[in-house]
Amino acid sequence: MSDFRPTKRTEIKRLPKRGHYDRETVYQILDSAIVCHVGFAVDVQPYVIPTNYGRAGDILYLHGSALSRMFQTLSKGVSVCVTVTHVDGLVLARAAFHHSVNYRSVVILGKARQIEDPREKMEALRLFTEHVVKGRWDEVRHPTDQELKVTTVLALPLEEVSAKVRTGGPIDDEADYALPVWAGVLPLAMVASDPEPDALRKSDPALPDYLRTYRR
């Protein structure tokens, strides 16, 4: 699996040792998150919008209402910046200045294209569903022609991409190690709670295994 080639826009300048350009790291970060943030500008006004996504190979898929300002704008081929971030822990140092966060992040730069082919569009919607809950697509009703019509799906190629990762404990000044202050890492993780059935349910099918064992 080859690496992404850093560009002037994606090369990590600040703490470059934390930068990663290999596909394995980038894919892992993207595939284990649920929400990305999409940055773009309309008449010099910047916007950053959270949304769901899906990935297949070196393509990131975005979807939303055809009436959405974001999707109407991105469909025109404007420049876009997409970010994904995991917060893995709070890094508590002895000095306030050296507090930090353990994280994994990806930044993608480029231009998206609108998907018009109904089969490719349906496949992208399958990817969205499976990205959030693997196994769900095979059970639910698939989108109708009308639902496809009012949904815009965009494909953003993974070309200019970089990842940045911080792991490990705090790094204090040598003199501060003598301070009587607890230091270390408070790990954080996203954990699924017990599923809550729909209050308007008309029947009570068994809880699917993919929910019973859901992990992120």
Whether the pLDDT of residue 111 is over 80: the answer is yes
- Name the domain count of the chain: 1
Q: Which domain holds residue 187?
A: 16-172+179-212
The helix (H) or strand (E) run that includes residue 146 is helix 145-149
Confidence of residue 203 (pLDDT cuts 50, 70, 90): confident
For position 195, which CATH number holds? 2.30.110.10
11 located within any domain: no
Looking at residues 29-49, what average pLDDT do you find? 96
**What pLDDT is recorded for position 202?**
77
Dihedral class, residue 144 (left if φ above 0, else alpha if ψ from -120 to 50, else beta): beta
4 located within any domain: no
**What pLDDT is recorded for position 199?**
87
- List all residues 6 or more positions away from 120 whose beta carbon is below 8 Å from its beta carbon: 153
52 located within any domain: yes
Whether the pLDDT of residue 1 is over 70: the answer is no
pLDDT tens digits for range 134-150: 999 999 999 999 999 99
